Amino acid sequence: MDILSNLALGFGVALSPYTLFLAVCGCFLGTIIGALPGLGPSNGVAILIPITFTLGLDATSALVLMTSVYYGAMYGGRISSILLNIPGDEPALMTTLDGYPMAKQGRAGDALVLSGVASFVGAFLATIGLMLLAPSLARVAFLFGPAEYFALYLLAFCTLGGMASNNQAKSALAACIGLGIATIGVDSSSGLPRLTGGNLHLYDGVDFLVAIVGLFAIAEVFFFIESHGKGSAVGVKLDKVRIPWADIWETKWTMLRSSAVGFIAGILPGAGASLGSFMAYMTEKSIAGEKGGFGTGVPKGVAAPEAGNNAAAGGALVPMLTLGVPGSGTTAVLLALLMTLNITPGPTLFTDRPEVVWGLIASLLIANIVLLLMNVPMVKIFVKILMVPAWILLPGVTMVSFVGIYSLSGSYFDLLMMVGFGALGYILRKLDIPTVPVILGILLGGNMEDALRRAMTLSDGDVTYLFSSPIAIGLWVAAIAGFVAPMFLRNILKKPQAVTD
Amino acid sequence: MTNRLFKALMTSAVLGLTATTAISAAECIAPANPGGGWDFTCRQIGKIMYDIKAVDTPVQVTNMPGAGGGLAYNHVVSERADDGDLIVAASSATTTRLAQNAYAGMTADQVRFVGAIGADPGVIVVAADSPFQSLGDLVEAIKADPGSVAFAGGSAVGGFDHLKPLMILKEGGFTDITKVKYIGVDGGADAITQTVGGFTQAMTGDMSEVVSFLSNGDIRVIAVLTEERVPGFDDIPTAKEQGYDVVAVNWRGLYVPKGISDAKFDEWAGKLQQVADSPEWAQAMKDNGLAPFTKVGGDFQGYVDGLVADINAMSKELGVIQ
């Protein structure tokens, strides 16, 4: 019963009125940060770090505040995905696929409550997983070398076909555009710049937040201008919010499976929440088959990515705490916070500083419950802000997008690039080419290439190295199956509907 | 009512966020994302300066990632050249990139280097179950079959972590350095997981990156690249005592814009010296595996110029640059 006594220690640290107050503030701020397009969990947490120093918070209080913001942002990301078809942050990308169609059917309230519950289930199970398994799961990271990572990313791309479009070729084209954009920047294996035109701003490649905000938010503004604000797709009516018990019950297995998939994706360093929500959505889509209607606004399509990305957020804490390797962008920021507080995460953290680890775990549980309480009954309040008329809302979204992107690197170059991506998004949508694969290409393409290049360096260019371990072979088999299976099934089953309207 | 209250809260939250980035006087630019060494330098030095009252308001940390510090360097040189309230985190990586002309033609004399107040000793690490017991074993194995040993490090190819094993091998009489395998991964901890996982045979990095793994028994440090053994890590032999005269430390320090007055420069040097002398900094160094290394003020610029010339010559010799 070590765990119970440890947990008691954690709650003892985290459950003072003051820290509870901090948790509530953090959850509230986090939800807003997550809901605003462009401001994701990582820059949200980074922006708030100075506040913890200004307030003179001690290590535990600072951690409670920051993890509340982190989990809050993961919850909040879904709100604008569902209501505006603009993901609030990158992991919420997949939620737009079914959440927005559901909202257009007049079930926005159902979608928000359901996704809130799914977020809770995912985050709660991941926190339990973190608590029970962290020390042993830390070893998983040692099993993944370049070949395994390459196969993992390949799996993600192989299951991409047919997503969000009636036309698989268009999906593939979009993914290739994304992969092409991902090659911009300094090539990490030779140290030489590629396709930068000598511009220092492009040396680190294209930030996917710039691409997301451009392709979604700015493109939306262009469409709005084109239609002179009439009949704009933005701004969804929200009726009475009731708790859709039937939907929650119907998606219970989806939530559990997605939590497991998301948690595992989160543990792998570098894969993070975006891959978690993507894998969770794809798993559920293939389990449901084409008759499951994924992409048309089904509850399972909302529950899967939300449970997946919130579970990944918890999973990403495992390698950060046990190895000091951040599993995602946000955990990298939390790592920075810990180091500034003179806490060095690593294999010995659990034994050396139990009060920090268990305080953190307890505060995650607290934040999670606060968020469920905050998000389900109060969802209407969060929604109000998005219910103002489109002609007020869109300029506001644009302004927030500009501020959010400017805060990334503090250079106007990113703003120009964001507008460029807006134009690209407008053109692609006119041609009925989905934009989601473009972003996944940018998001995962660089990592995939790095993994391949490292594998080739280690093996002196021997291709068989890519299939040299059982894990890699298993991932390759899954990837090939995921790519080939839809071709045979397509004739039997109905095609998914386009959601990029 | 609730609606209005919410909007008010919302507005104040946004205002609050912008306000924190606007009011403070001194600014420290970390030319990288949060979580790395430069970010640590800014946040730690900034925090201690405020704690010991060397500055009146908290030092605002701005993360300006891009081009391995090049974007921030360019920003300081071209847009903030006379900003007296600006300090920028720097390290050996800054001088390495300047020496290898990786900042698009900008040179070390376009800013003023204030000083360094700590150094992260370079280390060569192997997994606990590795057959290599000493640096000599590793060098001999590479001499016998260069393909048998791959290094993982946190910097890109040609970066400081890559140069460390190349310097050792050159000292050991192995010159065919293009045969040496090196993969650059996302940071030192990642390089360690690749090495412990058996995908690479050795890890090259900084002491601070391996400290938390040491007590766990997963890794062995076979050499530290300093003149003397590092206090607190007395059982780790130096490369020098194993017959390879290589010293490579990653200093942590600051630079300021070129155009500020000498008085302002001296003021920053004084504040940095205060941090260096503080017990808080001593504790921070101890917790993060940094060795004492204090060079502040006028003579530091000379040290930096020498370093740039050395690395430039060495990179040419090693074939990293033309």
Distance CA A276, CA A93 (A): 11
- Read off the tokens for A456: 């080739």
Compute φ and ψ for B111, nearest 5 degrees.
-135, 180
> Considering the domain B20-119+249-318, what is its CATH architecture?
3-Layer(aba) Sandwich (3.40)
Is A46 in Cβ contact with B183 (below 8 Å)?
Answer: no
User: Does A50 contact B at CB distance below 8 Å?
Assistant: yes
- Same fold across B20-119+249-318 and B121-242: yes
- Distance from the Cα of A74 to chain B's closest Cα (Å) equals 18
Question: What is the pLDDT, as a whole number, of residue A281?
Answer: 87
- Each domain of chain A, given as residue ranges in start order, spans 2-489
Over residues A445-474, the pLDDT tens digits come to 888 888 898 999 898 888 888 988 898 998
Q: What's the predicted TM-score (pTM) here? A: 0.75
Over residues B288-313, the pLDDT tens digits come to 778 888 889 878 888 899 889 988 88
How would you classify the pairing of strands A193-194 and A185-186? antiparallel
Over residues A101-154, the pLDDT tens digits come to 888 787 878 888 888 889 899 988 988 888 887 767 666 778 888 898 888 888
Is B35 in Cβ contact with A54 (below 8 Å)?
Answer: no
Is it true that domain B121-242 has CATH number 3.30.390.50? no
Residue A6 pLDDT > 70, yes or no? yes
Exposure string for A184-209, b = 16+ CB within 10 A, e = fewer:
bbbbbbebebeebeeebbbbbbbbbb
Choose between A155 and B120: higher pLDDT: B120
Over residues B48-102, the pLDDT tens digits come to 998 888 888 888 888 887 777 888 898 899 889 888 899 999 998 899 888 888 8
> Please, how many CA atoms are within 13 Å of residue A45, restricted to the half-sphere of its CB?
30
Distance CA A52, CA A65 (A): 8
Q: Which of A9-18, A428-437, B221-230 has the highest mean pLDDT?
A: B221-230
**A414 close to A205: Cβ distance less than 8 angstroms:** no
- ipTM associated with this complex: 0.76
What length is written for chain A?
501
- Distance from the Cα of B183 to chain A's closest Cα (Å) equals 6
Q: Among partner residues B65, B194, B216, which is closest to A348 by beta-carbon distance?
A: B216
User: Which positions in chain B touch A51 (Cβ < 8 Å)?
Assistant: 20
Q: Which residue from A186, A175, A212, A97 is spatially nearest to A444, judged by alpha carbons? A: A175
* Terminal Cα distance for chain B, rounded: 69
Q: 287-326 in A: which are within 8 Å (CB) of B?
A: 323-326
How would you classify the pairing of strands B202-206 and B150-153? parallel
**A367 close to A23: Cβ distance less than 8 angstroms:** yes
Question: What is the pLDDT, as a whole number, of residue A241?
Answer: 66
User: Which positions in chain A touch B104 (Cβ < 8 Å)?
Assistant: 198, 200
Q: Which residue from B158, B172, B163, B219 is spatially nearest to B191, judged by alpha carbons? A: B219
What's the mean per-residue pLDDT of chain A?
78
- Each domain of chain B, given as residue ranges in start order, spans 20-119+249-318, 121-242
User: Does A136 contact B at CB distance below 8 Å?
Assistant: no
Maximum alpha-carbon separation in chain B = 79
Q: Which residue from A45, A74, A164, A39 is spatially nearest to A367, judged by alpha carbons? A: A74
